[in-house]
Homo-oligomer: A and B are copies of this chain.
Amino acid sequence: MRILGIDPGSIITGYGVIDSDKGKLVHVCDGSISTDSKTPLHERLNIIFDLLHVVVRDYQPDAAAIEEVFFAKNVKSAIMLGHARGVAMLCVGKARLPLFEYSPAKIKQSVVGYGNATKEQVQNMVKALLKMPKIPKADASDALAAAICHIHHSRHSTNVALQIEDCKLKILKLRK
């Protein structure tokens, strides 16, 4: 099972692809799509759509996962975020992929073990779980975390939960 995680934003949209190979998490790719805020919005949305489309075409995920959004700094930020999120969801819809939405707390709970985890804690756990050589950037990390969350809630959840526990123990040992 291959999952695409997406973390949309009007300036930076993160993405990440993960395989769940017999319940074992395998990092496939991750990255972020940055657009210049001086570029007209409809052209920026075009860039986000086209690059996400290339990721979907090249990596052929089986499903996609995205964070639910219920809050924003203000209504203007919410509308701006909605634009990018709508375009990302359209890209998934055009590829006829099933799309799963998870609350930020559920994603943090799945990856770190508690819903109030910091961005840094998520990044550290994503790095450890996917055996990445470097800590992923925040947007890519959030996208990978959404994908991990989906795998966690799928049929391979027991194995993934064991890996998460194992990583948490390793991180704790390293800190001692």
Contacts and interface: CB of A to CB of B under 8 A. Distances in A.
Contacts of A80: 82
For the complex, would chain A's binding face be called helix, strand, loop or mixed by DSSP majority? helix
A84 B86 CA distance: 6
Interface of A: 40-43, 45-46, 49, 69-72, 74-76, 78-87, 89-90, 92-94, 99
25 contacts: A41-B89, A42-B93, A43-B93, A45-B86, A45-B90, A45-B93, A46-B90, A69-B79, A70-B76, A70-B79, A72-B78, A72-B79, A75-B78, A79-B82, A79-B85, A80-B82, A82-B82, A82-B83, A82-B86, A83-B83, A83-B85, A83-B86, A83-B89, A86-B86, A87-B87
A82 B93 contact: no
Nearest to A82: B82
Contact of A90 (B49, B72, B74): B49
Nearest to A70: B76
Contacts of A41: 89
Contacts of A86: 45, 82-87
Nearest to A83: B86
Per CB-CB distance, the 3 closest pairs between chain A and chain B, nearest first, are A82-B82, A83-B86, A78-B78
A82 B76 CA distance: 9
Contacts of A71: 75
Contacts of A70: 75-76, 79
Given A72-B75, A92-B42, A94-B46, A85 B82 contact: yes
A46 B92 CA distance: 9
